[in-house]
Each structure stands twice: as structure tokens, then as C-alpha cells.
Amino acid sequence: MRIALYAFDGITMFHLAAPLMVFGEVTRLGLAPDWETRVWSDEAGSIRTEEGFPVGDIAGPDTVAWADIVIVTSWPESLPPIGNGLSYALRNAHSRGAEIAGLCLGSFAIADTGLLGGRPAVTHWTKMTELRERNSHAGVDESVLYIDHGDVMTSAGTASSIDSYLHIVRKHLGSAAATRVARSLVVAPHRDGGQAQYIERPVIEASGDTAIADVLSWALERLDQPLPIERLADHARMSRRSFIRQFQFETGSTPARWVLDKRLNEARSLLETTDRSIDNIAALCGFGSAVTLRQNFRSAFAVTPTAYRRQFTVGCATTSTVDRQG
């Protein structure tokens, strides 16, 4: 397997180090001694990373003709359109059967080539709107870490590229090989491509000394209790209709949506920072039951509470305390 990694002046060291580490581990473990990885750019020579370090022995564009897989590991933050030379190289490689991947912001380069052909893509969650415009025929899928169409692959932001590289190992060498690489690198062996990115979902708050702002503060201290609209309106000393109208005006959300978002955010925090059971977290966050928490959590984040917690657990020793039905 011959893998070509595209690099450019200003790329972060992480985006170069991640694939070199994962694919290098394949050969170090003897899983596929004939795997070879080369870094290339628009011109042979050297590049300088965003951190200011020079990287030499960078190959030239002819590397693309050598490769079985061509990966655009990232892309400049300014999201420039792809140049004609790079676009031609990627499309030509694709036409002869090479797999093409654009990871993190590299998805923009892939979208510009037209290789997606009306299929959805994914990128870092902060750039979804821009990618939706660039990939206007099919848009984006915000609920996944990576999308592999077989011939073309895109991934979400930064660390999820490791999941993508492990997916490539799994795809070509099998699950056992990918698991060995992941264990050696001490990372999760398989975060599913259908698992939502860990996107911050801020909820707009009311500001100032208003009845709505007071209700928000009051409700935050009572997330474990029933908080129907009628109770919130009573606390604000408003009619139900007036309360809903004023709440939406000041927060941009409905009362029910705001309460659910706050409960989900609190649940995420407890999953990340405590070893409380799923039942206990459900009660503390006002979901009533673990089943209701799981349903709402999976709907919002496309992953179960237990699976979410695993990604924030340092080491494996604490997993025995986790509710395994999550």
C-alpha cells in the first residue's frame, strides 16, 4: 500500500504527524511491512509548519502517480479554492483507481475537485456552513466523524482524522490489525463513522434584569425537577402565551427546547467528569429514567451516553463503574 500525504506551508504538525504515526505503526508492528508513506507538496523541497518548524525531504507532485491512496491531510484556514495543478493531480489519481481522502479542512479541496459527485461530505464542525456552500449539490452530514464512499473519503475535525486513518487500516487489513494499532497508540480502536462530532451547542441566554433572565437562573438550579412551561410561566408571573412569546424573543429558543438543551449539556458534563451511573445522571438532569436520557442523548449526539463517556475516560480502569446498558 502506497500512501501519499499532501502538505503545504502553514500546515500544523499534528495533521502531518497523525497519519505518519498510524500508518507507521502498521509497519512497526509487522502488520503489513510493504506499506509505505510519502509526504508531498506542490513543489519538491521543504515546507514550514504553522508552529514554525521546517520539514525537509518533501516529494513533488509526481508522487501522486505512485500512490494507491492520496490524502489531503488538511487545508489552509482561509479555505482558498483548490489550484488547477492539485485538482488535476487528484482527479487523475482517482480516474486510475486511487482512493482519495480529504481530512478535516482537506474536505474543501476534495469538494472543489468535483470528485464527490453529488455525495455528502463532512469537515470540522466550525466550517460546516462553508463546506455546505462548496459542496452545494449534496451538502454535508453533521452527524458523523467520517464518510467513506469507497473511492472518496472526508472526515471531521482534527483528532477525528485518527479515526479515519484507523478506518483505512481496518478497511485494508481488517479489524484485528486496526485494533492492534489503536491499542499500541492508546486510542479508541473504533469510534464509529456514524458518531456525532462533539460539537459545542451553546444556548442563547437572556441578558439583563428581566423576568426571563430570572426564570433561566431559577430553572438551572432545578433541572432535576419537572419544568413544564406552566411552571416556568408561573415563576415569571406571566400567562403561558405571553411567556412563550417573550422567552423566544429574548433567547431565540422555545422554553421546552432550552430546558432540554440544558439537561443534555448537564448530562454531558456529568458523563465527562464523574463515574455516576446512567440512572443517577438521568435523575439529576430531570430525564426521569435512563431510557428517556438515552433516547434524547442519542437523538441529539448520535451516540449513546455510555459510548460518549468512553471517549472522555482516561484509561480503562474506570469503565467497570459505568452502566453498561448505556
pLDDT tens-digit profile of 112-129? 999 998 899 999 988 989
The residue with greater pLDDT, 19 or 248, is 19
Task: Output the pLDDT for position 321.
Answer: 29
Task: Give the pLDDT mean for 283-289.
Answer: 94
Cα angle: 12, vertex 303, 285; to 5 degrees? 110
Q: Mean pLDDT across the chain, nearest whole number?
A: 86
Does residue 79 surpass a pLDDT of 90? yes
* CA neighbor of 83 nearest in space, from 109, 115, 65: 109
Q: List phi, psi (to 5°) of 57.
A: 55, 40
Indicate the range of 4-8, 69-73, 116-120 predicted with least confidence.
116-120
Choice between 314 and 260, residue whose per-residue pLDDT is larger: 260
Quick one: average pLDDT of 58-80? Answer: 97
Is the per-residue pLDDT at 25 higher than 60? yes
pLDDT higher than threshold 80 for residue 274:
yes
Q: Name, in order, each residue with C-beta under 8 angstroms of 232's C-beta and a sequence gap of 6 or more.
A: 215, 219, 243, 247, 255
Residue 309 banded pLDDT, cuts 50, 70, 90:
confident
Closest C-alpha among 22, 12, 17 to residue 179 = 22
Contact 108, 131 (CB under 8 A): yes
pLDDT at 317: 32
Paired sense of beta strands 54-58 and 45-48, if any: antiparallel
Is the confidence at residue 192, as pLDDT, over 60?
Answer: no
Place of cell 463517556: 309
Lowest mean pLDDT among 143-147, 157-161, 195-199: 195-199
Average pLDDT over residues 213-240: 93
Confidence of residue 140 (pLDDT cuts 50, 70, 90): confident
Mean pLDDT (whole number) for 279-288: 95
Instruction: Name the pLDDT band for 316 (thresholds 50, 70, 90).
Output: very low
Distance (Å, whole) CA 227 – CA 264: 14
pTM of the model: 0.64
**From 169-178, 206-215, 263-272, the region with the lowest mean pLDDT:** 206-215
pLDDT at 216 over 80: yes
What local confidence, expressed as pLDDT, does residue 38 receive? 97
Query: Is 142 a residue whose pLDDT tops 80?
Result: no
Taking the C-alpha atoms of residue 124 and residue 323, their distance in angstroms, rounded to an integer, is 31
